[in-house]
A and B are shown apart, each in its own frame.
Chain A
């Protein structure tokens, strides 16, 4: 079955530490890839997305992600986290099957809870 896997369910790190969250998917073919963030008590916000082109994607708030097609991965990184980055992070994939039924449907990973300590 097609799936989206996030390797870490819970990450705790100190301010200024570097963050890398793993995301792997099992779809073949063309995909659109997304990272969303959900701050406590708030709705999902798009951090960044990959549709095509440069596999290194820069998003908001200093985040970036790299699409490695051969590894079916789209890992999220931030060189130096802040306390305000405490949130839940979701990887999502849309497999672009050429049918209208699947156009736009996102499959989410289980999420990674990131806690940044002062």
Chain B
């Protein structure tokens, strides 16, 4: 149980275009989803916290207008990188926290490798 999927797994786009990444909890409902960014050889950095039906909470230094997050249902959150530039190239990982169970545990997706040319 507790499987989180991401789509696409890899995406290459031209500079200036927008890219949407989906994060789905497949077998549980997630009231909260998190979006992380991981640079090569570095740790995960939290970008934003997404709660179903409300606006995302962004970490300091993360541009909310550039990284649009929508958490429209208890099983889906999307991250849209708008007007992508080469410096946005990174590995984006989502995680989901179960709505039940009472345990503070996150389940991670496999990540999306974004390359902006």
Q: Which residue of A lies closest to B31 (CB)?
A: A104
Alpha-carbon distance between A36 and B43 when the two chains are bound, in angstroms: 11
Would you give the 0/1 interface string for A37-67, flagging 1 where the beta carbon is closer than 8 Å to chain B? 0000011111001010000000000000000
Q: Which residues of B contact A101 (CB under 8 A)?
A: 49, 57
Residue of chain A at shortest CB distance from B6: A43
Interface residues on A, range: 20 to 34
How does the 8 Å CB contact mask read for B80-100 relative to A, with 1 for contact and 0 for none?
000000000000010101000
B42 to chain A, nearest CB (A): 7
CA distance in complex: A113, B105 (Å)? 23
A90 vs B93: C-alpha distance when bound (angstroms): 14
The answer on a CB contact under 8 Å between A43 and B43 is no
B68 within 8 A of A: no
Q: Are the CB atoms of A51 and B103 closer together than 8 Å?
A: yes
Choose among B44, B103, B107, B110 the residue that contacts A108 (Cβ–Cβ < 8 A).
Answer: B44
| Inter-chain contact A90/B103, CB cutoff 8 Å | no
Q: Is A83 an interface residue (CB 8 A)?
A: no
> In B29-80, which residues have CB < 8 Å from any A CB?
32, 34, 41-46, 49, 57
**Please, which residues of chain A bring their CB within 8 A of the CB of B32?**
104
Complex CA gap A106/B49 in Å reads 11
Q: Does B106 contact A (CB under 8 A)?
A: yes
* A111–B42 touching, CB < 8 Å: yes
Q: Which of A34, A44, A46, A109 contacts B93 (CB 8 A)?
A: A44
Q: Which residue of A lies closest to B111 (CB)?
A: A43
List, in ascending order, chain A residues with CB within 8 A of B95's CB. Answer: 44, 106
CB of A110 closer than 8 Å to a CB of B: yes
Question: Does A105 lie within 8 Å of B49, measured CB to CB?
Answer: yes
Residues B46 and A106 in contact, CB atoms below 8 Å apart: yes
State whether A105 touches B34 (Cβ < 8 A): yes
Interface residues of A (CB under 8 A from B): 32, 34, 36, 42-46, 49, 51, 90, 94, 96, 101, 103-111, 113
Residues of B in contact with A (beta carbons under 8 Å apart): 32, 34, 41-46, 49, 57, 93, 95, 97, 103-111
